[in-house]
Amino acid sequence: MRIFDPHSHMISRITDDYEKMAVAGIVAITEPSFWLGEPRKYSGTFYDYFDHITNFERQRAAEYGIQHFCTIGVNPREANNTELAKEVLERMPEWFQHPSVVAVGELGFDLITDEEELILRKQLEMAFEADLPVMIHTPHRNKLEGTERTIRVIQDMKLDPAKILMDHNTEETIQVSKDNGFWCGHTVYPGTKLSPERATAIFQEQGAEMMLVNSSCDWGPSDPLSVPRTIWAMRRQGFTEETIRKIVWDNPIDFYSLSGKVDLKPGWE
């Protein structure tokens, strides 16, 4: 089965991981912009990073037959430095036209501050002006509070939830994300997010419509094969191949195709 991992931070991974992903059936990935562990201090470091994920990582993935897409944005962990964030936003649209940029993100809340909301609103406005979908990062702490505040911002701005992926859902947030019409991402990540079994239980309860699963593999304890492992868990629970394919292939294609830049086809062919 072909697999599309819709959220993987490959700048943090060694080249061997691309080989392992390819062997496991992963043929497409999306790499969202994120912080690098240490907050950046200069706008130029963001621009170099945007160049890296739109160029070098795309080439590295292609060597293993993996199509690499990415998203561009100021991560909420760096949104509290509003002066720097605003400076980055001034030039950020230059990357929106790149053929690999399929969304703006990941955006949202971390500490759930007014400064983060200011930068979130600015980036949401930029995304919809550019006719690009949006990837939202739901916070690690106070997840439900941050998710609900994000939803209030989106509703206040009268934005279409069908163009927004609410990512890193857990049992705590999935219902509010689904009920408000968003695409729903689920991260299988050891320790701090979901296990394959917990993600599978959510899909059993909620169904496959507008549901995605990802690895979010980065520099922390994480697994670039989280999506294949979740497929295995779904098979053990009796999911049909059609349902599995919808979650790990069709839905990521359908969401990122809103950018007009994805040439992958849903279904078996």
What would the pLDDT profile of 151-169 be if each residue is shown by its tens digit? 999 999 999 999 999 999 9
CB 74 within 8 A of CB 95: no
Reported as a single tens digit per residue, the pLDDT across 47-99 is 999 999 999 999 999 999 999 999 999 999 999 999 999 999 999 999 999 99
What is the rounded distance in angstroms from the CA atom of residue 147 to the CA atom of residue 152? 9
Residues 167-183 have pLDDT tens digits of: 999 999 999 999 999 99
Q: What is the pLDDT of residue 75?
A: 94
What is the tens place of the pLDDT at every residue in 184-215? 999 999 877 899 999 999 999 999 999 999 99
Report CA Rg, the chain: 17
Q: Could you report the per-residue pLDDT of 233-246, keeping only the tens digit for each?
A: 999 999 999 999 99
Phi, psi dihedrals of residue 116, rounded to the nearest 5° = -65, -40
pLDDT at position 268? 56
Q: What is the mean pLDDT of residues 96-124?
A: 97
Average pLDDT of the chain, as a whole number: 96
Q: Please give the average per-residue pLDDT across 98-126, as a whole number.
A: 97
Instruction: State yes or no: pLDDT of 269 exceeds 80.
Output: no
Number of other residues whose CB lies within 10 A of the CB of residue 65: 12
Output the pTM of the full model: 0.96
Distance CA 126, CA 146 (A): 21
